[in-house]
Structures are given as C-alpha cells and as structure tokens.
C-alpha cells in the first residue's frame, strides 16, 4: 500500500521591451505618395506567471496466487489532481523617455499584455477518480488485464461530470510454446479501451468580454460584448473507443525485430466549436457532434544489418497509416465547417475522409472542362467543393545508424503523401502579381485553356468549346479578382520527402574518461531539416506550416504569417558524472 | 489484525474520496470574464455596432457611395475593382449581413427582455432591431427574422418573406412606443443615461426615432399596388400617437477621441490616423464626373463640403477606368476631389444614425403621394430637408438654393416633384448613409441618367446582394436556392 503526493510548481517572470523606430521622411519616394512604412512605437511589458499542480494518489496492491499456474496482481486506488494557474502582464506603450524601460514611463494608460488586452488571467481545474486494475496471468505467457476507472471533473456541470473508463486486454507470448530457433520472442496482443477527453477549465461558461475601444476616457463609458460562443446545455466529454491488435517479433537475437499494430478507433461526441450561421446571433456553438471512425496501421522493422566488433549498421524503418472517416455529424447535417473561412476551409463531411478541405471551385461541364462567362471570357466562380484530405495517406520513415568504435552517424528521413493543403501564401502571391500563373500569358488577355461556354439554358445546357473568347483584364484585374476568387487554384499536393536529421557524434573511450573522472563524455554535430523535396506544383512552402484557426483536429490551411520552417545546425556536448 | 486495519484504511480512504463534497469540484466559474452584465454596459456597445455597420470601410455607406456614383478611385490605387466590375458573389460585401446579425442584432437582442423595469431598454432594443432588420430586408429580400437570434436553441432559422418582416417591424415599433409609455409610469424603471450614446436617455426622442423608422418603412412601400389602405391606417396611427418625427440629426457619440480604437469610425476609415496623417483610403477615394457635374449644374454650395477642392478645381474620375490618362498622376490624388471636410470633420465627430435631412425628405415624399399621410406640405418638408443637409455639412444659404428656380433644387420649379425629392435625398446621403440612396434608386430610378461603371459586364448596377456564404455554410438547408438574379430581381417594394 502506498501513498504519493506530487507537486509541480512553475513560476516565470519576464520583461520585454522595444525601442521606437521612426522612418525618415527623406526616403526617395515622391512627395504625396502614400504607403510609406509606419513608424514603430516603443513599449515595455512586465509579465509573470505561476502554475501549481498537485497530485495525490493512494494505491493498494496485492499479488495473489489463485492456483498453481494462475496469478493475480490487483491494484486499487484513488487519485486526485488539481491544477491552478495565474498570469499577469502589464504593458506601457509609447514611452516618454527613450531607453528607460519601466512601466511608469508611459504616455497613455497601461494596457493589459494578455489576450484581449487583459491584465490578469487565472484558471483552476480539479479531477479525482477511483480505479482498479486486475491482471490475471497464466503460466507466464498468457495475461488478461482488466481495468476500470471512474472520474469526476470540475469542468462540467455536476449532473454530467462522472465518466467511467474501462479497458480489457489479452497478451499471448506464443514464442514460449513454439520451438523455432530463429524466433527469440513473439507476442500477440489484443485490447480494447475507452477513454474520454475532457473540456478545458471554464469552457462551458458563456462570458462577456470588454469591447475594444472602451472605456472612452472622456466620458468614462464602459462596454461589454455579448458572448459570441453559445454553449450547448448538454455538452459532455469526447469519447474514444479503441481496439488494437499487436504483434511483436524478435529474430536472431534481436538482429531482426518487427513490431506491428493495427487499430480501429471510434470517436464520438467530438467536442467541437461549430461555426454557426450569422442569423442565429452567435458566432459558434460549443457542442458534441457526430462520430468519426478510423483505422490505422503501424509497422516498425528493425534490422541489425552489420554487427561486429568495430563497425555496426542498424536500420529501422517504420510505416504509419491512419485513415479517419466521418460517420455522422448531426441529424440533417451533412457537413460542418471547422475553421472560420468561407471560401477555403476545413470541413467534416459525412462519408468523406476527415479532415476535408473545401474551397470555391471552377464550374465544370460533365467532361471536366471549365465553364466561362461568354460576356467577359472569365471562368465562373462556383461554390465550395470537396477537394481532398489534409492528412497523409501514409508516412514512411527510415533511420540508419552507423557506428565505429566511438563514432556514430545517424540519418533520419521521412516521406508522406496522399494529402493536400490550402496555401494562403500562393493565394496572396497571386493578388500581388508575384505568382507564376499571373505571368503565364505575359500579362495579356488570353483564351482560358480547356474552356467551354453554355449555349443552351440553365436547365438544358449545351457546352461548346471556347476557341475565341479571351478573358478580361489579363493585365491585372483577372488575376486579382476572378482567378484569385477560385480558391481551387491554391489547393496543393502536400507530398514531402524530408531529411529530418543528420548527426555525427563521438564518445570518448572508457579508459580516457576514467582519467578525467567522468562516466560519459560525448560530443556531436546535429543538423535538422536539412533537405526537403516537394512536388513541382508546390513551389511555395513546406506543407507542415499550419495556420488553422478553430478546432484542434482541423489542419490543412498553410499560412503565410509565420516564419518559415528553419534548417538548423548545432553542436552537442554531453557530460555525465 | 494488520489485515483488518489495512482493509479498513482502504475503505475509509475510498469513501472519503468518493463522498467528496460537491463544492470541492465547484471551481468552474470563470474569474476572468463576467457571466452577467447590466444593460448599461451592453447598450453603448450595441450603438457602436450600429454606426460601425455603416461608417467603416466596405460596409453599407461605402457600398452605396460606389454603386450610386458618389465615389471613384484615384490613379495609383487598385481599390474598388470588385465594386466597379460588379463581381457579385456570396462574399461580396457579406459584412452587410454578417456584421448586422453577429454584432448589432446580437447585442441589442439581449436587451429585449420582458422582465420588470426593463421597459426602456427593451423599447430601445426593439427600435434599433427594426432599424437593422429593415436594412437587411432592403438588401437581401427574404431574411431569417421570426426564428433568428436564438443562438444555440435554433441553429437553422427559416427564411421569412420580406413583406411579412416589414409588417412585423411596424408591430414591434408600436410595441416599443407603448413600452416607453408604460415605463414612464414605473418608478423603478431602469433608465438609460450616459450609456445611451444617441439620446442620453431622452425617451421622447426615442419615440420620435421609432416613428421616423416607421416612416421610412411605410414610404418604402408607397409604390406598391394595393398598399394604400394599410399605409393610411399606419400613418394615422403615427399622427394619433403624437410624438412626431425627429427634429434634429440623430447622432451617436460615446466620447470619441483621437486615440487608437476610439476615433469616430468614418474619420478612422477615410480620414486620418491618430498621428493626424491622411490614410490610404482618403487618397484612394475621390468623386466621379457625374456627381461633380450634377452638383455644379444645380449650383449646389455643398459641393465644396462633400468634396475637397484641389487647386485646379473639382475633378472626378470615371469608375472602372482601365487605362488612366498620361502623364502619370493626371488623375492622381493631388488633382482629384477627395472627400471633403463637411463629411470628415474630426476624430471626435459624432456618427450619424439617422439624418434630419432624410426624415424631412421622407415626409416630403409622403406628403407628395398623399397629403393626409403627414402634417405639413411637401414643399416645406423639402426645404427643411435640404436645409438640414446644408446645416450638417456647414454649407451656407440653403434658402437661396431652394428658391433659385433651378429644376431639382427648387421644389416649386421642379417638373418632376418625386425626382426632385429623391435627387436631393441622394445628395444629402452622400458619404453619410449612401446605401439608402441605392434603395431609392432601385425603387424610383432616380437620380436619372446615373451612369454605370465603365467596366460593368451588365447594363445596370445590381439591385440586391447574394445571401452570403457564411449563411449558406451554416444554414444551407433554409437558404432559398437558386439565388435570385442580383441584377434583375428587385426587392418586393420596387416594381
């Protein structure tokens, strides 16, 4: 029997400051030209934060022999968890005295440095639970484990805050029963578990925020905004049920290892902040929706290709595949917008891969040709269409480790494919005229390739190939308006092959280290993100840029407001005493 | 013995944890943001949203100014291409829909409560909701109304017929007026004060505004066949109620100052930044030849207040020019008429919610169509309306103008009285609430001979907007598809 108390304390203090940067008015631009860079103002910001986390566990353990071959290891326990957090940040803008970075040096009022110009942010949440874990063993090669846990959480209403997490698993070390010389170890496992994802602290509260601009100093008038997010009164935890089959094999004294896992997941009651139609008077609704079914496969093969006294070469390759499909959302709802975009956005679409990107598309005839407006030769901007999955079909990774005496060289690469993303960067480059497409016709009017016009009616269309009507505004307006409005042009293949890491290290021999008095010393060079190969159509950026706003599992919008991914080179020094 | 103690210990522990007091977990009330807020902290934000839905760039005022040939684009700027090319789609000016529902209407709606002592706030809420709902009907036709604004309780409100919405708006305005009367006899009524940035709590003026919004709704229907009996009944009700219409411009000012996020919205969008430098929108926006010629022909002194006069004289730029004339800068910002200082007054300028000019000219049209609708004759309302516009802009001598004998400036001398009224309304709305002049044009065809942008793909400008993508993506089952032709299918009040 044991009790455990854990305490995690984190406290931070910080100060940020910036000097003012005025731009000289004598900057070679003709007088009266607008668009000069705006001067940058000075500021100083003081911030601090504290976080405390307490965990208390009481566990009673017992080992029993139920019979000659059957053992039982039982654990019963309770556990409670409390998390408290407080942060504050104060900011003074437009300092009076240059170089004196103190909050008293402000010309206006102090403003809050946290999100929404708040000064202070606090949060607290608590959970407690009771659990039991029973592991039955038979003759050391067969194990059945059953667990159950009942959790209470503070983040939901008291009539809805109890959840039960069961799991069951069976593991069979069949190598014990087989007499096959190369096979050292073989295990087969099957398990099923149900877990829940909790909501964040305070998430179920509909709260007011202060409107930007208030209070007006001359009148003292203050103002608050009605909550934009409505919370469904039945909101509850997200449930994930997983069934997994696993196989672990070791051959030839661990020179060949194979680990395989196949799993099926069903996630229901996904906690979603669904974007609502404006006429409801609320921006979004926090609710649980639908169900998503997924299957996945993970394979890992390790090979000790060369093992000798001096030189060793180990290779490890892994393959992961994960596929999610939306089974249902809500009665009568076939799709749901998970980010806030209206012309290109991430959706959950019933019976389609999740997450799915939808964007405004060309209008096409049954043969796939683009329909244009005969009045101006421009393609017609169509509605939102499903344009593909934003998570890869599969990811293949490869790691090679070469070692010789104390020297070790490691190389890791991975390849992923089968997905697309919406590149905001490509979109913006079109608007400013820096895209390759916008110069493809020398900034002249041209006939849109593979286009047709409808010479019939809306009900009975007759599509005739367009051989003479040119687009309007090929110099600029076509690209900044019509072409740029069809976001299908910016949905790009996300395939990428990356060399993630290359490292070379040297570990000093034991004899040398005894003399110095350390137990281990190694020095190494590391290079990360060295090379990335992208398909030809992606001449913009790394598809792993992500700019999605919204639910955590909505990915696939490539951003342009963050710094690009970096390639780094470093030196490692490791000393153990 | 040990075993018994052990088991007992576990039992006690488990029991104590399991029977934990409910208050142990009661830590989920957000200490950072309030769950409830009193109405005097909600109203000023709602009124801010009302003026922001109009005065901020690319919202209703800008749309009207561009469609009605008040504004164009100076050389060196690619500012208004979509508007000149009439690239209408489900995102074109979708803020007209989104901002009014998600900001203004959402904020007013929480004040519309039938609880004791809420009479005044509830009345204000109904009046301003009618103000916004009318603009939505005038722009989009059918809109969600009866089922709208219920947040999570109804995430798919149905679309209601525009005429039925119009009729219910009158009912709601009547309710608001009677609520104000009820509130007056309630000693404990919550009375708005400084938080009412429009009238500072003067509820008589609210009644007048309610009547004036009713006037706008009724006059808009005055060209429909078979509405005469309904209009007569409603106008008589207004006369019987007795408070009359607004007697001065309805302005909103929460305490605008020359600081970030506190400047008057029209000034912040089209005037200067907090460092008193003109911003890009100011330089990019200029007059059209049509409006300069019209004002000059009428001998209208307001031209120098609506537009800034460059040293070389007033100059407008055609909308939709594909090639600006050489040498470079001929039609650049220094040589063309940008927005004048009758409209851009200061960072502290009050925002106009409803102009006296519009109220008087509406009464002029009502009196013209049927003298029994309103008190006073059409000519005196016309003169007062024009004078109110001169007064707001700071232009001199309106009486000389209205007695000049010029067609469309002088009511008596005008051959087409309706054209005179609507043309004067168009001038009065210039830069202030131009979307109203677009509604008038769709209904009456005045001002006449108003040109279309040079890069227009259609013979005339649109008469409505598409229901926006945001509504289709959240409420697609209820949006009536296919969408009506935005260039030809007029709103129900236009024939």
CB atoms A202 and B32 under 8 Å: yes
d(CA A435, CA B208): 56
B286 CB-side CA count, 13 A: 26
Mean pLDDT for the stretch of residues B397-402:
94
Pairing of strands A463-465, A420-423: unpaired
Kindly provide the ipTM of the predicted complex, given to two decimals: 0.89
Residue B1: predicted pLDDT: 56
Q: What share of chain A is helix, strand, coil (3-state, %, to 5)?
A: 10, 55, 35
Choose among B45, B470, B471: nearest Cβ to A224.
Answer: B45
Q: Are A357 and A554 in contact (CB under 8 A)?
A: no
Residue with the larger pLDDT of the pair A39 and B2 = A39
Element (H, E) at A287: strand A284-307
Share of chain A above pLDDT 90, in %: 55
- Nearest CA of chain B to the CA of A448: how many Å? 18
- CB < 8 Å to B144, chain A: 277, 279
Q: Angle at the Cα of B95 (from A225 to B84), degrees rounded to 5?
A: 155
Q: Are A268 and A290 in contact (CB under 8 A)?
A: yes
**In degrees to the nearest 10, what's the CA dihedral of B358, B364, B367, B373?**
20
Q: Which of A417, A424, A418 is nearest to A339 (CA)?
A: A424
Please confirm whether the linkage preceding A121 is cis (ω < 30° from 0). no
Residue A26: predicted pLDDT: 59
Task: Classify residue A117 as left (phi > 0), alpha (psi -120 to 50) or beta.
Answer: left
Q: Are B287 and B310 in contact (CB under 8 A)?
A: no
**Interface mutation target, options B7, B155, B458, chain A, most CBs of A under 10 Å:** B155
Give the SS3 label for residue A316.
strand
Chain B within 8 Å of A49 (Cβ-Cβ)?
A: no
d(CA B205, CA B249): 11
Which of A88-102, A257-271, A336-350, B85-99 is predicted with the least confidence, judged by mean pLDDT?
A: A336-350
Question: C-alpha A571: how far from its chain's center?
Answer: 29
Residue A521: predicted pLDDT: 86
Choose among B24, B35, B82: nearest Cβ to A126.
Answer: B24
d(CA A409, CA A423): 36
Q: Which of B170, B159, B164, B162 is nearest to B217 (CA)?
A: B170
CB atoms A32 and B334 under 8 Å: yes
d(CA A187, CA A173): 4
3 state SS for B206-250: HHHHHHHHHHHHHHHCCCCCCCHHHHHHHHHHHHHHCCCCCCCCE
Please say if the pLDDT value at position A154 is more than 90: yes
CB atoms B157 and A476 under 8 Å: no
Q: Are B319 and B288 in contact (CB under 8 A)?
A: yes
Share of chain B above pLDDT 70, in %: 96
Residue with the larger pLDDT of the pair A560 and B117 = B117
* Residue B361: band (very low, low, confident or very high) from pLDDT cuts 50, 70, 90: very high
Alpha-helical regions (H) of A14-170: none
Chain B within 8 Å of A477 (Cβ-Cβ)?
A: yes
Residue A481: predicted pLDDT: 84
Task: For chain A, give the mean pLDDT.
Answer: 88
- CB < 8 Å to A207, chain B: 30, 32-35
Residue A551: predicted pLDDT: 42
Chain A within 8 Å of B283 (Cβ-Cβ)?
A: yes
d(CA A495, CA B141): 46
* Residue B443: band (very low, low, confident or very high) from pLDDT cuts 50, 70, 90: very high
Chain B within 8 Å of A130 (Cβ-Cβ)?
A: yes
Please say if the pLDDT value at position B327 is more than 50: yes
| CB contact set of B313 (below 8 Å; sequence gap of 6+) | none
Residue B25: predicted pLDDT: 86
- Nearest CA of chain B to the CA of A301: how many Å? 45
Q: Which of A197, A477, A76, A246 is nearest to B13 (CA)?
A: A76
Question: Sign of the CA dihedral A510, A514, A515, A520?
Answer: positive
d(CA A120, CA A222): 18
Q: Are A416 and A395 in contact (CB under 8 A)?
A: yes
The residue of chain A nearest to residue B475, with distances taken between CA atoms, is A277
d(CA A418, CA A543): 12
Q: Are B416 and B395 in contact (CB under 8 A)?
A: no
Residue A550: predicted pLDDT: 40
Q: Which of A353, A391, A356, A386 is nearest to A495 (CA)?
A: A391
In B156-175, the residues whose Cβ lies within 8 Å of chain A are: 156-157
Residue with the larger pLDDT of the pair A567 and A563 = A567
d(CA B122, CA B135): 20
Q: Angle at the Cα of B118 (from B117 to B123), degrees rounded to 5?
A: 135
3 state SS for A352-418: CECCEEEEEEECECCCCCEEECCCCCCECEEEEEEEEECCCCEEEEEEEEEEECCEEEEEEEEEEEC
Which residues on adjacent β-strands are paired with residue A81? A55, A127
Residue with the larger pLDDT of the pair B121 and A20 = B121
Helix B203-220 to helix B356-369 angle (10° resolution) is 50
Q: Are A226 and B106 in contact (CB under 8 A)?
A: yes
Chain A within 8 Å of B105 (Cβ-Cβ)?
A: yes
Element (H, E) at A15: strand A2-18
Element (H, E) at A195: strand A183-197
Which of A72-81, A416-425, B306-315 is predicted with the least confidence, judged by mean pLDDT?
A: A416-425
d(CA B431, CA A277): 30
- Nearest CA of chain A to the CA of B374: how many Å? 35
d(CA A382, CA A397): 39
Mean pLDDT for the stretch of residues B419-434:
96
d(CA A283, CA A287): 13
Burial class (CB in 10 A: 0-12, 13-18, 19+), A326: buried
- How many angstroms separate the Cα of A486 from the Cα of each of A335, A359, B171? 21, 8, 44
Chain B within 8 Å of A115 (Cβ-Cβ)?
A: no
d(CA B121, CA A367): 60
Task: Classify residue B280 as left (phi > 0), alpha (psi -120 to 50) or beta.
Answer: alpha
* Residue B11: band (very low, low, confident or very high) from pLDDT cuts 50, 70, 90: low
* Residue A546: band (very low, low, confident or very high) from pLDDT cuts 50, 70, 90: low
Residue A141: count other Cβ atoms within 10 Å of its Cβ.
14
Question: Sign of the CA dihedral A199, A274, A423, A352?
Answer: positive
Residue A547: predicted pLDDT: 54
Chain A within 8 Å of B301 (Cβ-Cβ)?
A: no
- Nearest CA of chain B to the CA of A141: how many Å? 31
Residue B490: predicted pLDDT: 95
Q: Where are the beta strands (DSSP E) in B110-179?
A: none
> For A284-314, what is each residue's pLDDT tens digit?
999 998 899 999 999 999 999 888 888 999 9
Residue A28: predicted pLDDT: 61
Chain A within 8 Å of B195 (Cβ-Cβ)?
A: yes
* Residue B13: band (very low, low, confident or very high) from pLDDT cuts 50, 70, 90: low
Give the SS3 label for residue B168.
helix
Please say if the pLDDT value at position B5 is more than 90: no
Residue B39: predicted pLDDT: 95
Choose among A204, A217, A232: nearest Cβ to B152.
Answer: A232
CB atoms A76 and B10 under 8 Å: yes
Choose among B22, B42, B284: nearest Cβ to A224.
Answer: B42
* Residue A559: band (very low, low, confident or very high) from pLDDT cuts 50, 70, 90: low
The residue of chain B nearest to residue A82, with distances taken between CA atoms, is B25
In B22-51, the residues whose Cβ lies within 8 Å of chain A are: 22, 24-37, 41-42, 44-45, 48
The residue of chain B nearest to residue A128, with distances taken between CA atoms, is B17
CB atoms A130 and B152 under 8 Å: no
Task: Classify residue B141 as left (phi > 0), alpha (psi -120 to 50) or beta.
Answer: left
> For A455-472, what is each residue's pLDDT tens digit?
888 788 899 999 899 998
Chain B within 8 Å of A476 (Cβ-Cβ)?
A: yes
- Nearest CA of chain A to the CA of B230: how many Å? 29
- CB < 8 Å to B195, chain A: 221
- CB < 8 Å to A61, chain B: none
Burial class (CB in 10 A: 0-12, 13-18, 19+), B11: exposed
Residue B141: count other Cβ atoms within 10 Å of its Cβ.
24
CB atoms B259 and A211 under 8 Å: no
Please say if the pLDDT value at position A449 is more than 70: yes
Residue B191: predicted pLDDT: 94
Q: Angle at the Cα of A108 (from A102 to A113), degrees rounded to 5?
A: 60
Please say if the pLDDT value at position B166 is more than 60: yes
- How many angstroms separate the Cα of A557 from the Cα of each of A53, A545, B313? 35, 8, 50
CB atoms A1 and B17 under 8 Å: no
d(CA B138, CA B132): 10
> For A41-80, what is each residue's pLDDT tens digit?
899 999 999 999 999 999 999 998 888 889 999 999 999 9
């Amino acid at each position: 029997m044991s009790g455990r108390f854990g305490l995690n304390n984190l406290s931070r203090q910080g100060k940020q400051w910036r000097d003012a940067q005025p731009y000289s008015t004598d900057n070679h631009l003709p007088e009266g030209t607008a668009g000069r860079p705006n001067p940058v103002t000075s500021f100083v910001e003081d911030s601090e934060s504290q976080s405390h986390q307490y965990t208390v566990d009481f566990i009673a353990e017992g080992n029993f022999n139920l019979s000659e071959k059957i053992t039982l290891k039982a654990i019963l326990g309770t556990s409670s968890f409390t998390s408290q957090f407080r942060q504050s940040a104060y900011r003074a803008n437009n300092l009076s005295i240059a170089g004196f970075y103190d909050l008293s040096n402000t010309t206006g009022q102090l403003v809050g440095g946290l999100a929404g110009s708040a000064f202070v942010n606090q949060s607290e949440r608590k959970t407690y639970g009771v659990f039991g874990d029973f592991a039955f063993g038979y003759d050391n090669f067969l194990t059945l484990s059953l667990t159950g846990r009942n959790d209470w959480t503070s983040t939901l209403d008291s009539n809805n805050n109890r959840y039960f997490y069961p799991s069951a698993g069976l593991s069979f070390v069949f190598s014990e029963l087989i007499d096959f010389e190369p096979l050292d170890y073989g295990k087969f496992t099957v398990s099923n578990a149900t877990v829940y994802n909790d909501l964040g602290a305070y998430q179920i509260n509909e709260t007011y925020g202060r409107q930007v601009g208030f209070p007006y100093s001359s009148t003292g008038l203050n103002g608050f905004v009605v909550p934009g997010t409505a919370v469904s009164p039945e909101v509850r935890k997200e449930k994930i049920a997983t069934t997994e089959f696993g196989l672990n094999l070791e051959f030839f004294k661990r020179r060949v290892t194979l680990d395989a896992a196949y799993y099926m997941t069903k996630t229901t009651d996904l906690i979603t902040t669904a974007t609502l139609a404006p006429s409801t008077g609320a921006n979004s609704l926090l609710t649980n929706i639908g169900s998503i079914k997924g299957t996945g496969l993970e394979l890992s093969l390790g090979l000790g290709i060369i093992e000798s006294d001096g030189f060793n070469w180990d290779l490890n390759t892994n393959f992961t595949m994960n596929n999610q499909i939306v089974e249902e959302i809500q009665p009568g709802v076939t799709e749901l917008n998970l980010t806030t975009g209206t012309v290109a956005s991430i959706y959950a679409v019933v019976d389609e891969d999740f997450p799915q990107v939808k964007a405004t598309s060309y209008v096409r005839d049954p043969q796939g040709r683009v329909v244009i407006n005969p009045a101006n030769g421009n393609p017609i901007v169509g509605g939102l269409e499903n344009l593909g999955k934003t998570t890869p079909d599969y990811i293949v990774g490869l790691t090679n480790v070469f070692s010789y005496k104390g020297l070790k060289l490691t190389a890791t690469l991975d390849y992923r494919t089968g997905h697309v993303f919406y590149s905001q960067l490509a979109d913006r480059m079109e608007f400013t005229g820096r895209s390759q497409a916008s110069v493809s016709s020398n900034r002249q009017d041209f006939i849109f390739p593979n286009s047709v016009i409808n010479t019939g009616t809306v009900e009975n269309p007759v599509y005739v190939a367009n051989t003479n009507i040119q687009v309007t505004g090929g110099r600029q307006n076509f690209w900044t308006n019509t072409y740029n409005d069809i976001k299908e042009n910016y949905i790009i293949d996300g395939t990428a092959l990356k060399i993630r890491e290359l490292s070379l290290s040297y570990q000093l021999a034991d004899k040398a280290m005894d003399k110095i008095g350390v137990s281990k010393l190694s020095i190494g060079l590391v290079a990360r993100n060295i090379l990335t190969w992208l398909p030809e159509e992606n001449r913009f950026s790394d598809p792993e840029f992500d700019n999605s706003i919204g639910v955590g599992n909505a990915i696939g919008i490539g951003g342009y407001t963050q710094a690009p991914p970096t390639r780094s080179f470093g030196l490692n020094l490791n000393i153990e005493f | 013995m040990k075993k018994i103690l052990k088991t007992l210990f576990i039992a006690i522990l488990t029991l104590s944890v399991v029977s934990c007091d409910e208050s142990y977990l009661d830590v989920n009330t957000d200490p950072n943001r309030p769950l409830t807020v009193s109405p005097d902290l909600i109203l000023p934000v709602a009124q801010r949203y009302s003026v922001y839905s109009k005065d901020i760039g690319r919202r209703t005022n800008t749309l009207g100014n561009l469609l009605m040939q008040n504004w164009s684009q100076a050389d060196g700027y690619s500012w208004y291409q979509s508007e000149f090319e009439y690239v209408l789609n489900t995102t074109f000016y979708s803020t007209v829909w989104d901002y009014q529902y998600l900001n203004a209407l959402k904020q007013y709606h929480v004040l519309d409560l039938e609880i004791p002592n809420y009479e005044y706030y509830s009345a204000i809420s109904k009046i301003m909701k009618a103000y916004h709902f009318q603009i939505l009907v005038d722009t989009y036709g059918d809109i969600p109304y009866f089922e709208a604004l219920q947040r999570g309780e109804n995430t798919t409100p149905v679309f209601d017929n525009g005429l039925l919405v119009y009729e219910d708006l009158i009912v709601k305005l009547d309710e608001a007026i009677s609520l104000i009367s009820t509130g007056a006899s309630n000693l404990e009524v919550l009375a708005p004060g400084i938080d009412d940035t429009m009238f500072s709590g003067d509820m008589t003026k609210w009644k007048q505004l309610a009547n004036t919004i009713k006037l706008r709704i009724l006059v808009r229907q005055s060209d429909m066949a078979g509405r005469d009996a309904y209009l007569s009944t409603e106008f008589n009700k207004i006369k019987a109620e007795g408070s009359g219409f607004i007697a001065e411009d309805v302005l909103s000012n929460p305490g605008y100052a020359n600081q970030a996020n506190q400047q008057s919205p029209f000034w912040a969008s089209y005037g200067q930044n907090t460092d008193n430098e003109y911003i890009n929108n100011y330089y990019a926006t200029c007059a059209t030849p049509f409006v300069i010629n019209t004002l000059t022909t009428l001998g209208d002194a307001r031209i120098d207040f609506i537009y800034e006069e460059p040293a070389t004289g007033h100059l407008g730029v055609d909308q939709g020019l594909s090639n600006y004339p050489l040498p470079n800068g001929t039609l650049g910002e220094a040589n063309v008429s940008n927005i004048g200082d009758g409209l851009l007054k200061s960072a502290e300028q009050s925002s106009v919610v409803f102009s006296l000019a519009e109220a008087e000219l509406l009464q002029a049209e009502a009196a013209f169509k049927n003298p029994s609708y309103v008190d006073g004759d059409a000519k005196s309302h016309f003169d007062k309306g024009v004078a109110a516009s001169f007064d707001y802009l700071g232009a001199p001598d309106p009486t000389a103008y209205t007695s000049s004998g010029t067609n469309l400036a002088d009511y008596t001398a005008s051959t087409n009285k309706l054209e005179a009224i609507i043309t004067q309304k168009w001038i009065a709305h210039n830069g202030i609430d131009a979307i109203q002049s677009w509604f008038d044009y769709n209904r009456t065809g005045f001002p006449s001979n108003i040109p279309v942008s040079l890069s227009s793909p259609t013979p005339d400008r649109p008469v409505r907007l598409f229901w926006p993508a945001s509504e289709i993506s959240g409420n697609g089952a209820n949006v009536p598809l296919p969408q009506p032709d935005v260039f030809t299918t007029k709103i129900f009040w236009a024939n």
